[in-house]
Amino acid sequence: MNISPHRINVLLAVQRAGGVVAAADSLRLTPSAVSQQIKLLEKETGLRVLNRTPAGATLTPAGRVLADAAERIEVELATARRELAAVDAAAPAGTVRIGSFSTAIRALLLPLLSSLEAAYPAVELVVEEVEERAALKRLRHGELDLVLLERDEHTLPPAPRATADLPLLDESWLVVVPPGCPAPSSLADLAGVTWIDLDPHTAGAFALTRLAQQLAVPLETRHVAYDYDVVLAMVSQGLGHALLPELAVRSGFVPEGVVVSRLPGLGTRQLVVRHRETRSDPSAAVRAVLEVLLAQVESLELG
């Protein structure tokens, strides 16, 4: 039986907070993300760990066993951090500023905050939602230390001089279908539908262009959006179909009646983190953030 330490820590947060919603606030996650972690934990153990009631959530006997284990691990990790700090007085410390976009902030960076605090308590991460071109300019000027970038199908050009790119993950593009419309079974079913276009500077816009080339027909677009939450809202109102990356659906709220379809041939969105690469960069604090960020990405379970 493989039990995820991260998931039993989520269960411990539910026990301490008295409910899923309150635990989500403390962990800087969405309630749906917390519920998903609990369901995966129950799948791992084969046992029910949580009782949900109108008054809140209580742990089952199996849940209490796991929460107790999480507390013991928490104490051991705190002791280890103190001992390591005593051994290495030069442990990474300082403030790291990272610029990103909404889906990566919700799905990767907000959960990263608690993981980073546990692993490197002297490193502070400041997260900024910022448009890509402005973020890259601020990276060059030293105002940001890291920038998360998105590209369709590995189309990111080589990093400029004195910077370097670290690939994080590839995730599938998904079709989001308005309520009442049939779910597509192949790419051919997408040729005659109306689409919500995306800002031309986004990976989603490139993915739509690539889809039109695959179908060998122009796509009819009627509305334009930048934020994926706005796209989902437009789809829910029947304004058109949309292409969204997997993290946008995972970390966002999918409105009732909206269907999410995974089709062969839609391709992938690549996420990359860019940092300065000089004699003094990346600093120890930046390297610590990159280490924890990579571990965070590896823990994701994408379809």
Does 19 have pLDDT greater than 90?
no
- 263-281 residue pLDDT tens: 999 999 999 999 999 888 8
pLDDT at residue 86, rounded to an integer: 60
The more confidently predicted of residues 156 and 163 is: 163
pLDDT at residue 79, rounded to an integer: 76
Position 199 confidence tier, pLDDT thresholds 50, 70, 90 = confident
- Return the exposure string of 46-59: e unless at least 16 CB atoms fall within 10 Å of the residue's CB, then b: eeebbeeeeeebeb
| 3-state helix, strand and coil shares in percent for the chain, rounded to the nearest 5 | 45, 25, 30
The percent of residues in the chain predicted with pLDDT above 70, rounded, is: 96
pLDDT at residue 149, rounded to an integer: 96
- Return the exposure string of 4-27: e unless at least 16 CB atoms fall within 10 Å of the residue's CB, then b: eebbbbbbbbbbebebbebbbeeb
pLDDT at residue 57, rounded to an integer: 82
pLDDT at residue 55, rounded to an integer: 72
- 57-102 residue pLDDT tens: 889 999 999 999 998 998 888 777 766 666 655 678 899 999 999 8
Q: How many residues does the chain have?
A: 303
pTM: 0.69
Q: What is the mean pLDDT of residues 284-291?
A: 95
Distance of CA 265 to the CA centre of its chain: 23
- Spatial contact of 274 and 139, defined as CB atoms under 8 Å apart: yes
pLDDT at residue 155, rounded to an integer: 85
The more confidently predicted of residues 59 and 2 is: 59
The count of other CB atoms within 10 Å of the CB of residue 206 is 19
Average pLDDT, the chain: 90
The percent of residues in the chain predicted with pLDDT above 90, rounded, is: 63
DSSP 8-state class, residue 47: S
- Spatial contact of 134 and 201, defined as CB atoms under 8 Å apart: no
Does 189 have pLDDT greater than 90?
yes
pLDDT at residue 84, rounded to an integer: 66
- The number of C-alpha atoms within 13 Å of 65 and in the hemisphere containing its C-beta is 10
Does 179 have pLDDT greater than 90?
yes
Position 242 confidence tier, pLDDT thresholds 50, 70, 90 = very high
- Spatial contact of 78 and 95, defined as CB atoms under 8 Å apart: no
Position 251 confidence tier, pLDDT thresholds 50, 70, 90 = low
Domains observed in the chain: 5-83 (1.10.10.10), 91-168+270-299 (3.40.190.10), 170-268 (3.40.190.10)
Lowest mean pLDDT among 29-38, 70-79, 210-219: 70-79
Helix residue spans in the chain (DSSP H): 5-17, 20-27, 31-45, 61-87, 102-104, 110-119, 132-140, 203-215, 228-236, 246-251, 284-298
pLDDT at residue 124, rounded to an integer: 95
The burial of 212, by beta-carbon neighbours within 10 Å (0-12 exposed, 13-18 middle, 19 or more buried), is given as middle
